[in-house]
Amino acid sequence: MFQIVTENTCDMEMSWLKEHQVGLLYLSTIIGEDVYNADHPLDNKEFYRMLAEGAKPSTSQVNPEEATEYFENHISEADEFLYIGFASGLSGTVGSVRVAVEELREKYPEKRIEVIDTQCASAGEALMVYHAVRLRDEGKTLDETADWIREYAPHVVHAVTVDSLHDLWRGGRVSRSSALVGDLVGIKPIIYVDDAGKLVVAEKIRGRKKALNTLVDYMDALAGEYRDLNETMVTITHGDVPEDAEYVKEQIRERFGLNHFMITNAGPIIGAHTGPTLVIVSFFGKERHR
């Protein structure tokens, strides 16, 4: 059986990843003089407490040396590995993994490491990991699973809202002009991840509740022929607003009759660029935005 590997940017519960034997590379969070990573983890609750107290975190991608070290440490655990990568439009991590894998192929010609740039993030990346695990556990081969992920990743919708774009602008994820919307009282941005894995401000909604409802409207507009596939799982990720995530889940349940949800808490890598008010809904759609 092949091994699945992803990054901490998938924002999935560690208990779920361990239960389903999913390996994890760690992008680093830097706060002051402290660097948080796999060897020095930062609890989500502690991270958001630090944010509330004025911390200004930054993040660092996995470099080729770190990627090589990870696979060297785990190379004996399987003959085949499927790496499900964070959007290259947001991080160079998947590029670092590709560099590492080229070297590892020469050293371990009997091993196979397949790398996929999903152009997904957080809840969207979690949706890809969930289905990769599902397919593997159903007995699909690495090739069958990789082909499925490559086919459906471009159809993963990320419907996103935050109260302000300031953190996204500070982290270089959106332009300053887009971030100015955060200065308008009561205006909440609706964001999506485009085909190149970049964040795009799509709409500016007045009021938090209306913005949350707009995330559900995106599913109504985009699901199309993928409605049946969405019955298997919808992923919802929030920063530090569990009540908003639950509200969105119930709206989706009532409107579409869906019953399978994975609600996760955005960790420091995503939270450093979005703040605590983040809510993402990810599902399959005919296009990534309306």
Query: How do the domains of the chain map onto residue ranges?
Result: 3-154, 155-284
- The domain defined by 155-284 folds into Hypothetical Protein Tm841; Chain: A;domain 3 (3.30.1180)
pLDDT recorded at residue 164: 77
pLDDT recorded at residue 187: 82
For the chain, 290 residues long, give each residue's pLDDT as a single digit of tens: 999 999 999 999 999 999 999 999 999 999 999 999 999 999 999 999 999 999 999 999 999 999 999 999 999 999 999 999 999 999 999 999 999 999 999 999 999 999 999 999 999 999 999 999 999 999 999 999 999 999 999 999 999 999 877 766 766 666 666 666 556 667 888 999 999 999 998 998 999 999 999 999 999 999 999 999 999 999 999 999 999 999 999 999 999 999 999 999 999 999 999 999 999 999 999 999 98
pLDDT recorded at residue 278: 96
pLDDT recorded at residue 22: 98
**How do 3-7 and 80-86 pair as beta strands?**
parallel
Q: What single string gives the DSSP state of each residue in 160-180?
A: EE-S-SHHHHHTTSS-HHHHG
* CATH architecture of the domain with residue range 3-154: 3-Layer(aba) Sandwich (3.40)
Nearest to 171 by CA among 61, 17, 73, 65: 61
Report which residue type is found at 238.
H
Give the whole-angstrom CA distance, residue 113 versus residue 226. 30
End-to-end CA distance of the chain: 39
Cut 0.85: pTM above it:
yes
Question: Helices in the chain by DSSP H: which ranges?
Answer: 14-19, 44-52, 64-74, 93-107, 123-137, 142-152, 166-170, 176-179, 208-222, 227-230, 242-256, 268-274
Residues in the chain: 290
